[in-house]
Amino acid sequence: MAERVFMKGTEAMAEAAVRAGCRFFAGYPITPQNEIPEYMARRLPEVGGSFVQGESEIASVNMLYGAASTGIRAMSSSSSCGISLYSEGVSYCASARIPMVYINVQRGGPGIGAIQPSQQDYNQATKASGNGGFRMIVLAPDSVQECVDMVYEAFDYAERDQNPVLILTDGVMGTMMEPVVLPPMKSDEELSKCREKFLPRAIIGHPLGQQATCRPGSVGGGQEEKNIAASKLYKSWEKDIKVEEFMMDDAEIVFAAYGISARISKVVIRELREQGIKAGMIRPITISPFPYKSFENLDFARVKGIVNVEMSIPAQMKWDVEYAVKGRCPIKEVLRSGGQLLTNNQVMDGALEFIKEVL
């Protein structure tokens, strides 16, 4: 087994990207994700890659569009209000079916919000990261190890689907240091094989221009055909849904949480079990596509209620949970916002209050 190293979430994600073959990074500084571009600025030249600090978020995301169009593995990162500025570029990438990866290390919101952690961008990430109704695979890690593993596999999803992939994490995971096992470095051989698949991608003016696939939307016609093809892709993601069902076999109280909130809930669930309360959790690992079936198929004769834990006010993921639960049991919100961190005790207190009501 590979050695475990002690790393900060942001730096671990940056190293994972390099090991996955990322050779281009463009970004613009914003707390709490600055260590990603800082790390990339130092690391990418060592492996023959390029780092650019864009003059803005808008410039950066469009550089990403350009770089990824050539078949090179390219990534960017930002945080909440910075991610809002990515909207146009991401939408163009989705329209042109560009295989790029980006990371949102969430901070408080809306607006400039707070520089402290939050989970305030769930709806933006899963429902509308830009105009036009496109969708993306969105991965939500709950540990530094998962941050690493998800960045590593995100490039494979992006290339397989020819579509952007988003890692939705937060300032806790980004700033926290934890032991982690890093994945192996992909060889140049493996990477050139990936690139070969992209040879027909050429821009206007190139002899292969007629086959160009990297032009957005209706440039060259056929917007509706492109939307139909994209829609087909989104439907095919049913097979890619990832969900952790934790202590769910006999659970009467079901926690619904992703990312940092799920990690905290897990500790609370263990404590509740020690007190004889049958608690469990459904943790969406892909928040898009969302594991609706895990909630739809709950045995509501047994399940007495759902505790929806998020670092967001108002609750956001709760909409997806409600959509699947359809009023068949009560849903309790345990929320923090504005840069306030959830702690084990706060989740426990909120859960116990609810348990008294429903059990």
| Measured distance between the N- and C-terminal CA atoms of the chain, rounded to whole angstroms | 45
Binding residue (CB under 8 A) for another protein from 267, 300, 328, 349: 267
Q: Which is nearer to another protein, 33 or 126 (CB)?
A: 33
- In this chain, which stretch among 53-61, 187-195, 237-245, 260-268 interacts with another protein, using CB under 8 A? 260-268
> Is residue 287 involved in binding another protein (CB under 8 A)?
no
How far is it, in rounded angstroms, from Cα 176 to Cα 144? 8
> Is residue 334 involved in binding another protein (CB under 8 A)?
no
Q: Which is nearer to another protein, 135 or 263 (CB)?
A: 263
Is the distance from CB of 4 to CB of 181 less than 8 angstroms?
A: yes
> Is residue 78 involved in binding another protein (CB under 8 A)?
no
User: What is each CA distance from 28 to 22, 97, 116, 130, in whole angstroms?
Assistant: 17, 23, 18, 19
> Is residue 20 involved in binding another protein (CB under 8 A)?
no
Convert residues 25-44 into a mask of x (bound to another protein by CB under 8 A) and - (unbound).
------xx------------
How far is it, in rounded angstroms, from Cα 256 to Cα 112? 28
> Is residue 175 involved in binding another protein (CB under 8 A)?
yes
Q: Which is nearer to another protein, 227 or 340 (CB)?
A: 340
> Is residue 53 involved in binding another protein (CB under 8 A)?
no
Q: Which is nearer to another protein, 175 or 223 (CB)?
A: 175
* Phi and psi, residue 139, nearest 5°: -105, 140
> Is residue 264 involved in binding another protein (CB under 8 A)?
yes
How far is it, in rounded angstroms, from Cα 313 to Cα 350? 15
> Residue 239 is encoded by which pair of tokens?
């097979």
Give the footprint of another protein on residues 126-155 (CB under 8 A): none
> Is residue 106 involved in binding another protein (CB under 8 A)?
no
> Is residue 70 involved in binding another protein (CB under 8 A)?
no
- In this chain, which stretch among 124-132, 155-163, 168-176, 229-237 interacts with another protein, using CB under 8 A? 168-176
- In this chain, which stretch among 19-27, 230-238, 273-281, 337-345 interacts with another protein, using CB under 8 A? 337-345
**Looking at this protein, which amino acid is placed at residue 110?**
P
User: What three-state secondary structure class fits 234?
Assistant: helix
Q: Which is nearer to another protein, 5 or 204 (CB)?
A: 5
CA proximity to 155, closest of 38, 74, 263: 74
Sign of CA dihedral 111, 117, 122, 124: positive
**If binding means CB under 8 A, how many residues of this protein chain bind another protein?**
26
Binding residue (CB under 8 A) for another protein from 110, 179, 222, 330: 179
> Is residue 275 involved in binding another protein (CB under 8 A)?
no
User: DSSP for 26-90?
Assistant: EE---TT-THHHHHHHHHGGGGT-EEEE-SSHHHHHHHHHHHHHTT-EEEEEE-THHHHHHHHHH
Residues that bind another protein (CB under 8 A): 4-6, 31-32, 115-116, 172, 175-179, 260, 263-268, 270, 341-345
